[in-house]
Amino acid sequence: MISLCINLFVFILGLIIGSFLNCVIYRLEADKSFLVGRSFCPQCNHTLSSWDLIPVLSFLFLKEKCRYCQKPISIQYPLVELATGLLFLLIFNSTFYDLPLTIYYLLITCFLILIFIYDLKHYIIPDQIIYSAILISFLYLLAANYLITNAILSALGASGFFLLIYLVSRGQWLGFGDVKLAFLMGLFLGFPYILVALFLSFFIGAIVGLLLIAKGKKTLKSEVPFGPFLVIGTIIAFLYGQKLINWYLNLFFP
C-alpha cells in the first residue's frame, strides 16, 4: 500500500512538472519569461484559473477547448503531461535507492522532453535548454565523481561523430544543435549506452522517414528534425540499455 501511494505521488508529480514544461515550451516560443506571470490561453490571452490547469483532467473536462474562447487546446499539453508522469515513474522505480541520482535523472529527462517537443515543432534546439542541461550534467558528474572520464570521452566521441557529419554535409544532413545534443547524450549515458542510443536513433529515424515517404508526407529532400529521434534513443538506452546489450550478446555470442 505504501509503495502504491509513493508511485502515485511520483506519477502526479510528473504530471505537474509536465504541465510546467508545456508552459516553458510556449513561453520560449513566444520569447517570454516562464518564471513570472500567470498562465493564460495562447489564443485569447485570458488568464487561466486553477481549474483550467489540472494536468490531463482539465483537457478532458473542458472537452479539448478553452473555457473562455472555445478555441481547441493542443493535444501536446496532455501528451507531454502523461509522458512526463510515466517517465518519472519508470526512472524513480529504477533509481529510488539513490535520491540525488534520481533527481539528476529526472531533471535531465525534463530537458530531453523540452528538446523533443521544441525541435519537433520548430526544427531547432534552443541554446538555453541544451547548454543548461550540459552544465547541470557536468556539475553533477563532477560532484558525484561518477564515471566522469567515461562520460566526457563518450560526449566528445558522440559529438565529434556528429560534427564530422555536420561538416561533410555542410549542415544539410543535421543541424549543429544535434552536435550539442550528442554531447549531452554522451555525458548522460556514458559508454557503452551511448552506442545503443545512437544506433536506436538512426534506426528509428530511418523507419519513420521511410514511412513518411511511403505515405507521401515527405520526400527524400524533405527536412526532418533529428533531435526527437536522439531523445527517444537516449531514453530507451537509459532505461533498457543493459537489457538490449545482453540480448544482442546472447543473440550473436550464445
- Distance separating alpha carbons of residues 40 and 73, to the nearest angstrom: 12
Phi, psi of 65 (to 5 degrees): -135, 150
All cell numbers assigned to 150: 567515461
Which pLDDT value is given to residue 148?
A: 81
- Distance separating alpha carbons of residues 191 and 189, to the nearest angstrom: 7
For the chain, the residue count is 254
Phi, psi of 109 (to 5 degrees): -60, -40
Percent of the chain residues past pLDDT 70, beyond the cut: 96
Low-confidence ranges of the chain (pLDDT < 50): none
Closest C-alpha to 118, from 225, 37, 238, 237: 225
Which pLDDT value is given to residue 127?
A: 92
Which pLDDT value is given to residue 53?
A: 79
Cis peptide before 225 (omega within 30 of 0): no
Say which residues have a Cβ less than 8 Å from residue 203's Cβ, sequence separation at least 6: none
Which pLDDT value is given to residue 85?
A: 96
Which pLDDT value is given to residue 185?
A: 96
Which pLDDT value is given to residue 35?
A: 66
CA–CA–CA angle 167, 164, 225 (5° rounding): 75
The distance in angstroms from the start CA to the end CA of the chain is: 41
- Cα-based distances in Å from 248 to 193, 231, 253: 13, 22, 8
CA–CA–CA angle 32, 37, 42 (5° rounding): 60
Which pLDDT value is given to residue 220?
A: 64
Mean pLDDT, the chain, integer: 88
CA–CA–CA angle 31, 228, 203 (5° rounding): 165
Q: Which residue has the cell 494536468?
A: 55
- Distance separating alpha carbons of residues 41 and 69, to the nearest angstrom: 9
Query: Burial code of 39-52, b = ≥16 C-beta within 10 A, e = fewer?
Result: bebeeeeeeeeeeb
Which pLDDT value is given to residue 100?
A: 87
All cell numbers assigned to 30: 513566444
Secondary structure (3-state) at 40: strand
